[in-house]
Each structure stands twice: as C-alpha cells, then as structure tokens.
C-alpha cells in the first residue's frame, strides 16, 4: 500500500517504486504502507515503511556509495555514541528499474531541528558537542578515509578553492554592477585564505560530515538522535563545526565551542567550510529564493564577525 503526494521524482523515485522493491526483495514487509517523510533530503529520498521502518534510496550515482559505508560502519559506531543513530535493518539491491543499492532502517522518533522546537538551545549545543566528542573518540582504524565518498568533507577545504573563489568573485561582481549581494567579499576572501593556511596535522578521527539542523532530531525539546551519515568518514573534524554559525548564536554558540574544545586552526578551517557552502548557496539563491538567500547571507555575516573577533 503506497501513499505519495506529488513530488519531484528525483531519479524516478516514488512510493510506488519503493513498494515494488519491497515486494520483490523483502516480501515479509510487502503489506506495510509506504509514505514519504515530512522533510526529505536531496542526496536521498526517504520513506516510512509501516511505523517502525524507513527506506532510504540515493538519488544519483554520486550518493550511492553511502549505502555500503553506512551499512558497514553505523553498527560499529552506534555503541560508542550517546544518542541514537539510524539502525541498519536490511540492504536492498538494484531492481525494478532503480539502479542503486538502497537500505531499510529502523525509524527514529523525532522532528528535524528548528529553533522553535528546542527547549534550551544552550543545552542542545552542549549535548551536540558531547555527541561529536564521542564520535571523534571512536577508534578510526580502518575507517573510510575522507575523499570523494564524503564529498571531501574531512579533507582540506582546498579541494573547493576554485569553487569558493569563483562564488566570491561572482558575488563581488554583482556589487560592482549595482546589485547588492549583501556581503563583504574582500573580508570573506580573507576568511578563506586563513582556512587554507590552517593546515591540519592531527590524527585522523571519525567525522559526521553534515551536522545540520535537518540531520538532528528533536523530541520533547531535546536533541534525540543524529541521522544521515552519508558524508561521514575519517579525517579532519573541522567540517562538523559549521553548525556553530548555521544554527547557534550567542551563548549557545559559546557553549558549543567550549564543548567541542577544538583549537584555533580547526575553527579557521570550520569557518572556511561554512563560508564555502554559504557563498555557493547564496550565489544560486539570490534570484530564486529570497528566504534562503537571507539565511546564507546571515551565515556569512556571522562567520566574518567571528573571524574578526579571533584575528591576532
């Protein structure tokens, strides 16, 4: 039984396809209802299967390696973490016209994070910091080294040097043409240079790679679970700090920074990661998504202010 309101059909994925895959490969679940989740991602489409399971399907070839990675490593990570992560139940194979491996997981109760759903943002920040510290302490031996599978999270931000410089130049060019992009491109370029100069020399650790509001579940006002380890791997944890500017402000940001306990070089690279994503996103959103553009602009402003506050 399927129930799928109109969606964009990325990679031909819809509830009917999920139903066919389940019926063909896991017939014991064939009678369970298939319904889309309320907030979906871009890299994967996710559906509820009954009340206790979810089905996760990559939307493109570049996202497909995450299925095998998460199946191998999430069960190994879970016992060491203070919050639930997606429980692996089964792994599906290509079929029914769908070309990638896919997965069945246990359902985790909670809603994606918004400021309105969090009872105490400082406590939330401390709880997230404790989760990250626990993740970074897990033995990284044999883990997947940062690279294409993690979209180079965990590697030096220099991988995105050309892309970042192009975005900043485009935003500066808009200002020159009389269109206010709303950022100081010269100061942003200084943040990026400092990120590139802050070479990481630490021992490799596990990182999540996409610590963002939509990947943090809230229940009863508290941080309840962390999901979507598709960009996880072993390397530099700086990419896990970006949420300091995308979600936290003021005392909550201070609590998060104190909780994670990273050095200034790591924070410099983290500012670079935040700037990269916000700059390329702002460039794309200026003409099409004013709400998104305002968010990306605010992130850049916060990063620039933080950089200035930590200047030698």
pLDDT in tens, 227-253: 999 999 999 999 999 999 999 999 999
For residue 11, the model assigns a pLDDT of 60
pLDDT in tens, 246-265: 999 999 999 999 999 999 99
pLDDT in tens, 197-211: 999 988 999 999 999
**DSSP 8-state assignment for residue 275:** H
Instruction: Tell me the two tokens of residue 268.
Output: 């410099």
Structural domains in the chain?
10-108 (3.30.200.20), 112-309 (3.90.1200.10)
Pairing mode, if any, of strands 34-36 and 53-58?
Answer: unpaired
pLDDT interval class at 39 (50, 70, 90): confident
3-class state of residue 254 by DSSP: helix
Instruction: Tell me the two tokens of residue 205.
Output: 């650790």
- Percent above pLDDT 90 for the chain: 85
pTM: 0.92
The answer on pLDDT for 4 being more than 60 is no
Mean pLDDT calculated for residue range 156-160: 96
Half-sphere exposure of 12 (CA within 13 A, CB side): 9
Mean pLDDT calculated for residue range 100-113: 96
pLDDT interval class at 9 (50, 70, 90): very low
Task: Evaluate whether 143 touches 72 at the Cβ level (below 8 Å).
Answer: no
102-130 burial string, b = 16+ CB within 10 Å, else e? Answer: bbbbebbebebbeeebbeebbebbbbbbb
Instruction: Specify the higher pLDDT residue, 4 or 11.
Output: 11
Instruction: Tell me the two tokens of residue 275.
Output: 């700037």
For all residues of the chain together, what is the average pLDDT?
92
Half-sphere exposure of 23 (CA within 13 A, CB side): 12
The answer on pLDDT for 8 being more than 50 is no
């Amino acid at each position: 039984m399927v129930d799928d309101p109109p969606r964009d059909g990325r990679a031909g994925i819809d509830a009917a396809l999920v139903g066919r895959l389940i019926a063909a490969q896991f017939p014991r679940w064939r009678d369970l209802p298939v319904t889309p989740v309320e907030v979906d991602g871009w890299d994967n489409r996710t559906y509820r299967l009954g009340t206790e399971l979810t089905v996760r399907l990559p939307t493109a070839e570049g996202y497909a390696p995450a299925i095998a990675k998460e199946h191998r490593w999430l069960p190994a990570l879970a016992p060491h973490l203070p919050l639930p992560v997606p429980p692996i139940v089964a792994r599906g194979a290509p079929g029914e016209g769908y070309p990638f491996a896919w997965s069945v997981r246990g359902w985790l109760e909670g809603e994606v994070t918004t400021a309105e759903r969090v009872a105490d943002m400082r406590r939330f920040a401390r709880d997230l910091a404790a989760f990250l510290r626990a993740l970074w302490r897990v033995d990284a031996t044999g883990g997947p080294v940062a690279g294409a599978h993690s979209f180079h999270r965990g590697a030096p931000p220099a991988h995105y040097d050309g892309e970042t410089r192009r975005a900043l130049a485009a935003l500066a060019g808009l200002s020159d043409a009389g269109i206010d992009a709303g950022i100081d491109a010269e100061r942003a370029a200084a943040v990026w240079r400092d990120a590139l100069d802050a070479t990481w020399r630490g021992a490799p650790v596990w990182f999540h790679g996409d610590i963002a509001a939509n990947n943090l579940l809230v229940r009863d006002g508290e941080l309840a679970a962390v999901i979507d380890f598709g960009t996880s791997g072993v390397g530099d944890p700086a990419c896990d700090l970006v949420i300091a500017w995308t979600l936290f402000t003021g005392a909550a940001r201070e609590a998060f920074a104190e909780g994670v306990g990273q050095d200034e070089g790591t924070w410099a690279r983290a500012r670079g990661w935040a700037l990269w994503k916000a700059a390329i996103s702002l460039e794309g959103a200026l003409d099409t998504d004013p709400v998104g553009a305002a968010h990306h602009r605010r992130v850049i402003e916060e990063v620039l202010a933080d950089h200035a506050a930590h200047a030698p």
